[in-house]
Amino acid sequence: MTNSSSFLLEIGTEDLPARFLPAAIQQLKEKTELILKENHIKFSEIKTYGTPRRLAVIADGLPQMQEDRSKEVFGPSKNAAFDKNGSPTKAAIGFANSQGVSVKSLIIKNKDRGEYVAAVIEEKGLHVRELLPELFKRITLSLHFSKSMRWGTTNIKFIRPIRWLMAIFDKETITFEIDGIKSNNVTKGHRFLSPAAFQIKDIPGYKRILSNNHVVVDPEERKYIIAEKMEKLLTPVGGKPVEDKELLETVVNLVEYPVPVLGTFSEEYLELPKELLINVMKGHQKYFAVQNVEGLLTNQFIIISNTDEENSDTVRIGAERVIKARFEDARFYFKEDIKKPLSERIDELRKVTFQENLGSLYEKTERIVFISEFLAERLLPSAKDNLIRIAKLAKTDLVTGVVREFPELQGIMGKYYALHDREESEVANALEEQYLPAHSGGRLPKTDFGAFLSIADKIDNIASFFSIGFIPTGSEDPFALRRQALGIIAIILDKGFGLTLKELVDKALEKLPDVKNIGEARNNILQFFENRLETVFSDLGYSSDLIDSIISLSLDLHLNDIKERLDALTRFKEEKGYNNFLLAIKRVSNIIPKAEIPLLNSELLIEEPENRLKEKLDSLKPDFVSFIKNTKYYDAINLLSSLTDPVNHFFDQVLVMDKREEIRQNRFALLKEIWTMTSLIADFSRLKENG
């Protein structure tokens, strides 16, 4: 058994933006795997790492030799390569010589509906060591980023300038060059704590040697260090960091040598809204806020420094000075904001553009009010006046100082300002909840007012941007319209609102200014929602055929009605008679013409099976209508299944395509009545039989 080999490639750079580092590390892994596979080099494991100053990949389980392989090269057709006697022609001889094989070794293979000669060429694998210089160069230059840069006179683009390259195969240095930078076995430690260059002679010791030089190259290890040391700092004071995965991910990718430091600020600032304090600490300084065991914010915070613990006091003093200045700014904005009630800010919305083709925030507010009024009339008439008043205040916090400085606090600050204005709690909560859910699967509005406001705001955004041609594509959705559509669906399902998407879309389009092609916009929006519904119900675990059977009806149905139908169909699918019923109904569906059919005339039902079917159908209708009206869909489907035998008897005994026009059309009419009834529940033609 031969010993396996390893390689290490490190790309040293100027400081990489934290937001790009996780994707860069993942991309490095994927590109390395792909390039090795393309070059027929086996491996057991690929591990990638990264810090703000470097990207690194280690491949283990490499062979010394590339795999041997064979390939087929097609030549002339069989008829052109061999004469009638089977002797090779000049075409065959020339092709064999060009591929370096004997004529005798040529084989005949089918291709493009014909027979052709082919040469089987055996390629011996090369030493992996010989291939690595070019492969390392390919791996490095294969990395692509949404934002890249050029530097100096180079044409090479990378996320940041490359400053060094280190490449090792086992213990041997691999030399290659990119833009004048030659690789070697030398790397660099921490920019300030271990600035000198040093050699890496042993791949297994790579992480340890970097750690000795104040570089923790593994992001997961940095994350663990941060969590462990924060806990160690806060346990004695009975605190814990406010959980923030996004912030943790950011600071992990901002430092090479994480050292948490505990700082404090004056308790007087705790009078400010906690979300404002947390946002100042996170947004400007990337500090972790601290809470006590009761979940209340404390006057402590944690800085993740990128320096030695000996410098902690210096880091703390500097951070406390900076955070005080930031909190002073926040307090100034907040104190200024509360001097003016939200109700007096409505007119200021006229001066703020929502979108150049869609008017001001004031005009958007009018549309939100219009849609909210409709929602109240449909769903909660007694609350109409209150909801209209809340809708008028919906966007007023956008013109406050705090929200201009911290846009992510929209709604949250509206709640605080409303409470300061002595508004009812239902008003304040609705102003915050209008932006929920903030992401797919996120927290939903608890109050009806918040739900109404959220739906009104989101449907206006969708209708507005669709109306001016800003429609999401496969990769682009700059206004997060998909998320907002999913939010609307989630809220309606959660609240059980008796509302159809079609009427909601129609109402939103009604108030928009100068929609050039409102019919096209409407169709696009409805299709957009239909696609989202498929996603939602698929995520809830319903099979694709069940969803297909309902989706064509979905825009005209209340969303909870759709779910109840899906549940009924799921239950009915488990019944023994499901397959037989489905086959019978599909026989009905398949024969009905798309053209207009006259109404059923009972006097033209001349044979016993069709009269029997008509009688059975008439006997079901009263109970069926009652079940549908009371949303007892399983009972309705179960009732329909009793048509299985009469339908099959009809098809077995009656010639539908009678030569007499009026008889044929009347039989079509009878079958159409059956199909119309079943279609009130679902399109059964789209369902699959049980295997």
Per-residue pLDDT reduced to its tens digit, 221-253: 999 999 999 999 999 999 999 999 999 999 999
Say whether pLDDT at 315 is over 50.
yes
Query: Is the pLDDT confidence value at 2 over 70?
Result: no
Last residue of a domain, one of 212, 237, 269: 212
* 379 within 8 A of 449, measured Cβ to Cβ: no
In a domain, 565, yes or no: no
546 pLDDT band, cuts 50/70/90, is very high
> What tokens were used for 640?
């329909």
Asked if 23 and 99 sit in the same domain, the reply is no
Paired with 70 in beta bridges are 122
Residues 186 and 59 occupy one common structural domain: yes
Domain-terminating residue out of 488, 520, 540: 540
Nearest Cα neighbor of 617 from 675, 573, 684, 577 is 675
Average pLDDT of the segment spanning 186-209: 94
pLDDT of residue 444: 95
Q: pLDDT value at position 68? A: 85
Q: What's the burial of 456, exposed, middle or buried (CB within 10 Å: 0-12/13-18/19+)?
A: buried
The candidate with the shortest Cα–Cα distance to 689, out of 494, 545, 517, is 545
Q: Is the pLDDT of residue 164 over 50?
A: yes
Same domain (yes/no): 195, 227: no
Question: What pLDDT does 1 receive?
Answer: 38
In this prediction, residue 329 carries a pLDDT of 95
Residues 477-527: tens digit of each pLDDT: 999 999 999 999 999 999 999 999 999 999 999 988 777 788 888 999 999
- Are residue 333 and residue 416 in the same domain, yes or no? no
| C-alpha distances out from residue 141 to 31, 179, 180, 188, 613, Å | 10, 11, 14, 21, 72
Among residues 576, 551, 562, the alpha carbon closest in space to that of 638 is found at 576
Predicted pLDDT at 257? 97
CA distance 412 to 397: 9
CA pair distance 408, 289, nearest whole angstrom: 17
Whether residue 562 is contained in a domain is answered as no
- Are 178 and 315 members of one domain? no
Q: Residue 459's domain spans which residues? A: 343-540
pLDDT at residue 446 tops 80: yes
Residue 41 CA to residue 148 CA, distance in Å, equals 30
- Within a domain: residue 287? yes
Is residue 546 one of the residues assigned to a domain? Answer: no
Mean per-residue pLDDT, 35-44? 94
pLDDT at 214: 96
* Percent of residues, the chain, with pLDDT higher than 90: 82
Q: How far is CA 402 from CA 277, 396, 409, 418, 430, in A?
A: 11, 12, 8, 14, 19
User: Has residue 640 got a pLDDT over 90?
Assistant: yes
The answer to whether residues 144 and 94 belong to one domain is: no
Question: Is residue 631 in some structural domain?
Answer: yes
> pTM, whole model, 2 decimals?
0.81
Query: In terms of domains, do 149 and 191 share one?
Result: yes
Asked whether residue 425 carries a pLDDT value surpassing 90, the answer given is: yes
End of a domain among 317, 337, 357?
A: 337
Q: What DSSP state is assigned to residue 183?
A: P
Dihedral sign, Cα of residue 373, residue 379, residue 381, residue 385: negative
The greatest distance separating any two alpha carbons of the chain, rounded to the nearest whole angstrom, comes to 104
Whether the pLDDT of residue 274 is over 90: the answer is yes
545 domain residue, yes or no = no
**In the chain, what percentage of residues exceed pLDDT 70?**
100
Give the whole-angstrom CA distance, residue 457 versus residue 364: 9
In a domain, 529, yes or no: yes
- What is the per-residue pLDDT across 91-148, written as a single tens digit (0 to 9) for each? 989 999 998 889 888 898 888 778 998 998 888 889 999 999 999 999 999 999 888 8
Q: Do residue 351 and residue 439 come from a single domain?
A: yes
Task: Answer whether residue 388 shows pLDDT above 70.
Answer: yes
Whether residue 550 is contained in a domain is answered as no
**410 has pLDDT over 60:** yes
Instruction: For the chain, give the mean pLDDT.
Output: 93
Average pLDDT of the residues in 674-689:
93
Neighbours of 599 (CB within 10 A): 9
Q: Which residues pair with 121 in a beta bridge?
A: 71
Same domain, 322 and 351: no
Are residue 265 and residue 119 in the same domain, yes or no? no
What CATH number corresponds to the domain at position 669? 1.10.730.10
pLDDT (average), residues 332-347: 97
Whether 485 and 581 share a structural domain? no
Q: Do 382 and 530 sit in the same domain of this protein? A: yes
| pLDDT on residue 234 | 95
Confidence of residue 150 (pLDDT cuts 50, 70, 90): confident
Per the structure block, which two tokens stand in for 354? 């929502």
- For residue 310, what pLDDT is reported? 92
* Tally of domains in the chain: 5
